[in-house]
Amino acid sequence: MAHEHDTQAVERVYRPSPGLAVAVDDPVQNPGLPPHRERVTDKDPQANRRAVRTVYTLFYVSVAASIWAVAAYMLFPIEGEYATMGNIRNNNLFIGLGIAFALLAIGIGAIHWSKSLMSDKEHVEARHSTRGSEPTRAAVIQAFATANEESGFGRRKMIRNSLFAALVASVIPGITLFRNLAPNDGNDPVQLLNETMWAKGERLVLDPEGTPVKAADVTIGSAFHIIPESLAGLSHDEGYLEEKAKAIVLLVRLLPEQLKETEERKTWSYDGIVAYSKVCTHVGCPVALYEQQTHHLLCPCHQSQFDVTEHAKVVFGPAARPLPQLPITVDAEGYLVAKDGFSEPVGPSFWERH
């Protein structure tokens, strides 16, 4: 059909060299197409109408399930005083069921539509060159028009519209859930990330034991997971996890001559000991892998790497800025303490964009 008006088109089509292909005397014969079998919906108008009703009913079931997922989000709140174990369990269960049924109904409806109502005629199409002639291009457009007619996409408005409604409704639960990604208490996320429990004189203690760390305990090449001493005394009800998520630090000791410190940060380290935020500046994963030979910190989520010798600058990966450095010193008893809090927000750079 594609070359009815160009009898030489097939001859001009690129034909690859047979190369080392082996010509056999008894090649596999083309068995041809099996006999076409009409479906029940092709022979029985009532079955056809029943299939139509089934398809759009499934799509509307999907719409109802999506609405139910949003309703479950509101019926079982998990914030503030409503954050009970029962509400959290019901919230997860019913939102999950709503989204699952919504997507399942769309899938079953689409499959049932294609198997019972769309054209199931067998076609054979010969390969042809990538760029067809104008008649060929016109034929393709006609083929799309024919496919549209045979599938009923343009003609069966009830199915089409219900499918559109189901697809649009299926994203609403996701949008509703994304609402929780943004602070809803009026607090500025940049300001929240600027405020950690680190302050002048705050002792560095081991996570989670809460044991203070002396500079003499930190050997060259070692790495310690650190939290502020005052954080170790918090309970979960007092926001232990929230504060820890911002204040976690990795403590590393190198030879002092290995550090390439800028003039303004020469006093931020102590005898080769440096402390950096563990919260990756890409999307906030914990940067917990230290490679002793290269002095690189690795984020396991997206492979961002930071050079400990140069203020944890980014040497590889998608992170956009260095890990914030915590200025440290020692107190009168030789314990490591913070000289001040972080001078910049910890965590993803996204929150710094206004």
Query: Where are the chain's structural domains?
Result: 40-117, 137-180, 197-338
Please give the mean pLDDT across all residues of the chain: 85
Residue 12 confidence (pLDDT) above 70: no
Percent with pLDDT over 70 in the chain: 89
**How far apart are alpha carbons 63 and 224 in whole angstroms?**
52
Q: What is the DSSP string of 19-72?
A: TTPPP-SSPPP---PPPP---HHHH-HHHHHHHHHHHHHHHHHHHHHHHHHHHH
Q: How much is the pTM?
A: 0.56
Give 212's DSSP letter.
Answer: B
What number is the average pLDDT over the span 1-29?
59
Nearest to 102 by CA among 184, 166, 14, 10: 166
User: Given pLDDT bands bounded at 50, 70 and 90, which one contains residue 10?
Assistant: low
Range of weakest confidence among 3-12, 131-140, 223-232? 3-12
Q: Other CB atoms closer than 10 Å to residue 165's CB: what's the count?
A: 16
Residue 64 confidence (pLDDT) above 90: yes
Q: How many CA atoms lie within 13 A of 117 on its CB side?
A: 25
* Secondary structure tally for the chain: helices H, strands E: 9, 10
**Helix or strand run (H / E) with residue 314:** strand 313-316
Residue 255, pLDDT score: 92
* Segment of 103-107, 204-208, 340-344 carrying the highest mean pLDDT: 103-107
287 in Cβ contact with 323 (< 8 Å): yes
Q: Dump pLDDT digits (tens) for 104-129.
A: 999 999 999 999 998 887 777 776 66
**How far apart are alpha carbons 24 and 40 in whole angstroms?**
44
Q: In the beta sheet, which residues pair with residue 204?
A: 228
The CATH class, in words, for 197-338 is mainly beta
What number is the average pLDDT over the span 176-180?
74
